[in-house]
A and B are shown apart, each in its own frame.
Chain A
Amino acid sequence: MPVLGRQDMPRQDPDVRRSNFEEVALGYSEEQAVAEAKRCLQCKKPKCVEGCPVEVMIPEFIKYAAEGDFDSAARQIKTMNALPAICGRVCPQETQCEECCILSKKGASVAIGRLERFVSDYERRRGVKIPPAPPPSGKKIAVVGSGPAGLTAAADLARIGHSVTVFEALHEAGGVLIYGIPQFRLPKEIVKAEVEYVKKLGVTVLLDSVIGRLETVDELLAGYDAVFLGTGAGLPSFLNIDGENLNGVYSANEFLTRVNLMKAYKFPEYDTPVPKTGTSGEKLWKGKKVAVVGGGNVAMDSARCAVRLGASGVTVVYRRGEEELPARAEEIENAKEEGVKFRLLTNPVRIIGDDRNWVTEIECINMYLCEPDESGRCRPKPLEGTEHRIETDFVIIAVGTSPNPLVPGTTAGLEVSKRGTVVADDNGATTKKGVYAGGDAVTGSATVISAMGAGKKAARAIDGYLGGK
């Protein structure tokens, strides 16, 4: 029987999930997956595909899923996308493949992301098959950074027979997927499994390797035929207001790295802390108030981590209005369900501390919106005389990041824009011969899937470059 409506995905109850780091969304059952897959019209000219930067063959994999052949579905996806369990979870599908799906105009698009998630989870649980290794090309490529851009470029290059080595600064591969996006949205076991898959394609991953300090890009070029830079946009911005260096004020990157990568939520089992530990057995931030500044996915993730650490009052402070919140609607909804409060059209002007240098309050001013700026959004202006204070024990600053200057600063001939992004053409070619770049390093903070799309394009361009070499 055809199902008209889109299948809902079960989620953990807000009252339960507020106090654990387990995944919020629970995924489809087999029956639901088949039912959802059957909604797909198998269009002759599938619009959905145009919305996917890594060119997943959507109708083809969905057809297998509709037949209950989830293994073939997974294999079909993996020919184009090495990280489907990740994409199925964190792609902003509503503005990618699903927005383009023909059914979105007739009610609700096919839940492409949820299906992608289901089939890749299904495959992972049953043991992932590795495609046969292609004949080696004899060419060597160095990939700097193991975020989605680097992993995608590496996987694609390995699949056509090139020898690829990924250099990663941190002790774990995955970039933002591992240090930024929290466990309850993207379990780290899944990131690790997909990284394992990329390794099994023949990619070597060297952790603890900070390029620019250990080896420079020029030194890499001496041993490799080409270099791909997927170094991301990891440098945190601050507000440049008074009191920002007080104890208890974090960049979202630091807070999320402590909580996710270093597992501070399991302190003292794990050594890295977040401060103000409760007595044993209590939640680490029990009864604490937390202000998160910013309105994007990073702010939502920070706020929701704070909730899970036990904080009793978590407030998102954002200078524009509800409409302008850059986070995904789904994440804002999740945050609200978990009790996160929003103070919109509010901007911090300074942070106030006590005599022990600990934050106690954040002083804000109300804002109003006037004429739209270049980005089409409204430029907020302060309403004089509306200064007020919010009591808080912690402040988390999530107002954006920019590319880390370490690699550009140590690579002669690599052009960088005023914003610090690496200049590259549509195919990722930079101004330096043999050096390609993609992902957040080129665009500034964007999305997992756009970074992967850039990695894919660059892999193709590098292959072309090596062919002519």
Chain B
Amino acid sequence: MPFKILKKEELVQDIHIMDISAPRIASKAQPGQFIILRIDEKGERIPLTIADFDRDKGTITVIFMVVGKTTMQLASLKAKDELLDFVGPLGLPSEIEKFGTVLLVGGGVGVAPVYPQARAFKEAGNRVISIIGARNADLLVWEDKMRDVSDEMYITTDDGTKGHHGFVTDIVKQILESEEKVDRVVAIGPPVMMRAVAGVTAPFKVKTVVSLNSIMVDGTGMCGACRVLVGNETKFACVDGPEFDAHLVDFTLLMNRLAMYQPEEKASLSKYKCEREGCLC
């Protein structure tokens, strides 16, 4: 049962957005959940967070960054192309309640998974403060959409081309040290960023939630590829998560395990590039 791509755009360099027709998934999707897709028969199963969903149109939106073979191949697809497999919604939904003030932090492509949560937190009656960060102004994703669902919004860029010159953690710290009483922090982005945010919020004892992007195969709890250590207990990110208490997560293990296939990922990417662009070697 192939799944049709309805829309595909490059949002900023190397970050793409795609709408896929998947009515059954769209009718069930909730913030915090993800899908697993496979492009073709020989493809790998890769997880992507549900960045948005439209129950009426029956679509799921994903935003992905080109980091290797599968995401590069995915970026080469166009509207009307089809994906062979599209499974979801997987993982536990985010805990959305009226907590009071919620601080949402999205780094790079991490803004995509943060957006539906920001919207849901807002709808649940929270005061929503958002911080979105990127390497430079040209790489900021979904700034407008985030602004629409935030009471207050901050932008940070590593090179200072927009907003605060520095990291998202600088603003997190600033807010936590201010008068503002923050009841919950949600941070999604590269593991280094999530670890840094966890480090900043820990002394303030604010519950902080992160979404872990461990390597996955089935996404149903069958293989254990996605195992992470949380509070010294092994958990399967695909069914017990992907969101966990940031202060209990062993980020070093997460990063070590993410590096497990680096040589194979490189080999796969260069083979793909060779086939597509003609081999120079």
- Residues of A participating in the B interface, judged by any CB pair closer than 8 Å: 169-171, 179, 206-210, 213-215, 234-236, 238, 240, 244-245, 247-248, 250-251, 253-254, 257-258, 262-263, 267-277, 356-357, 404-406
Contact A268 B234 (CB under 8 A): no
- Chain B proximity of A72: nearest CB distance (Å): 37
Of the listed stretches B55-63, B120-128, B258-266, chain A binds B258-266
Contacts of B260 in A (CB 8 A): 247-248, 275
B271 touches which of A207, A236, A268, A404 (Cβ 8 Å): A268
Contacts of A257 in B (CB 8 A): 217-218, 222-223
3 smallest CB-CB distances across A and B, nearest first, come from: A273-B264, A357-B256, A254-B223
Residue B45 CB within 8 A of the other chain? yes
Residue B1 CB within 8 A of the other chain? yes
Contact B87 A245 (CB under 8 A): no
Which of A208, A244, A267, A275 has the most chain B CB atoms inside 10 A of its CB?
A208
Of the listed stretches B109-117, B140-148, B224-232, chain A binds B224-232
Contacts of A236 in B (CB 8 A): 222-224
Contacts of B253 in A (CB 8 A): 245, 357
Chain B: interface size category:
35 or more
Contact A258 B263 (CB under 8 A): no
A254 touches which of B24, B84, B85, B224 (Cβ 8 Å): B224
Contact A238 B268 (CB under 8 A): no
- Chain A proximity of B205: nearest CB distance (Å): 28
A277 touches which of B221, B256, B263 (Cβ 8 Å): B263
Within 8 A of A (CB), among B248-276: 253, 256-257, 259-261, 263-265, 267-268, 271
Contacts of A244 in B (CB 8 A): 234
Q: Name the CB-closest residue of B to A397.
A: B224
Contact A214 B89 (CB under 8 A): yes
> 5 interchain pairs (CB within 8 A)?
A210-B219, A215-B28, A238-B224, A271-B268, A404-B221
CA distance A179 to B222 in the complex (A): 10
CA distance A244 to B234 in the complex (A): 9
Contact A277 B264 (CB under 8 A): yes
CA distance A275 to B224 in the complex (A): 16
Contact A267 B264 (CB under 8 A): yes
Residue B8 CB within 8 A of the other chain? no
Contact B42 A258 (CB under 8 A): no
Q: Name the CB-closest residue of B to A401.
A: B222
Contacts of B221 in A (CB 8 A): 234-235, 404-406
Contacts of B69 in A (CB 8 A): 271
Residue B14 CB within 8 A of the other chain? no
CA distance A254 to B214 in the complex (A): 14
Bitwise, B66-101 to A at CB < 8 A (1) or not (0) is 000110000000000000111111100000000000
Residue B239 CB within 8 A of the other chain? yes
CA distance A273 to B263 in the complex (A): 10
Q: Name the CB-closest residue of B to A273.
A: B264
CA distance A86 to B150 in the complex (A): 57
Contact B223 A253 (CB under 8 A): yes
CA distance A144 to B24 in the complex (A): 16
CA distance A273 to B227 in the complex (A): 18
Q: Name the CB-closest residue of A to B224.
A: A251
Q: Name the CB-closest residue of B to A280.
A: B267
Q: Name the CB-closest residue of B to A236.
A: B224
Contact A258 B217 (CB under 8 A): yes
Contact B217 A254 (CB under 8 A): yes
Q: Name the CB-closest residue of A to B225.
A: A254
- Chain A proximity of B231: nearest CB distance (Å): 14
B44 touches which of A250, A251, A262, A269 (Cβ 8 Å): A262
Contact B86 A208 (CB under 8 A): yes
- Chain A proximity of B97: nearest CB distance (Å): 20
Contacts of A210 in B (CB 8 A): 87-88, 90, 219-220
- From known contacts A257-B217, A257-B222, A272-B44, infer whether A171 and B70 are also in contact, taking CB-CB under 8 Å: no
- From known contacts A169-B220, A254-B225, infer whether A213 and B89 are also in contact, taking CB-CB under 8 Å: yes
CA distance A263 to B44 in the complex (A): 10
B222 touches which of A262, A269, A271, A404 (Cβ 8 Å): A404
A273 touches which of B88, B89, B222, B268 (Cβ 8 Å): B268
Residue B25 CB within 8 A of the other chain? yes
Given contacts A208-B1, A245-B229, A257-B222, 13 further A-B contacts (CB under 8 A): A208-B87, A213-B28, A215-B28, A236-B224, A245-B227, A245-B257, A257-B218, A257-B223, A258-B217, A262-B45, A271-B43, A357-B253, A357-B259
CA distance A179 to B217 in the complex (A): 12
- From known contacts A214-B24, A254-B217, infer whether A271 and B44 are also in contact, taking CB-CB under 8 Å: yes
- Chain B proximity of A410: nearest CB distance (Å): 11
CA distance A253 to B253 in the complex (A): 21
Contacts of B256 in A (CB 8 A): 247, 356-357
CA distance A357 to B229 in the complex (A): 14
- From known contacts A210-B87, A270-B42, infer whether A251 and B261 are also in contact, taking CB-CB under 8 Å: no
Q: Name the CB-closest residue of B to A269.
A: B42
Residue B38 CB within 8 A of the other chain? yes
CA distance A267 to B69 in the complex (A): 13
Which of B219, B259, B268 has the most chain A CB atoms inside 10 A of its CB?
B268
CA distance A408 to B264 in the complex (A): 37
CA distance A356 to B265 in the complex (A): 17
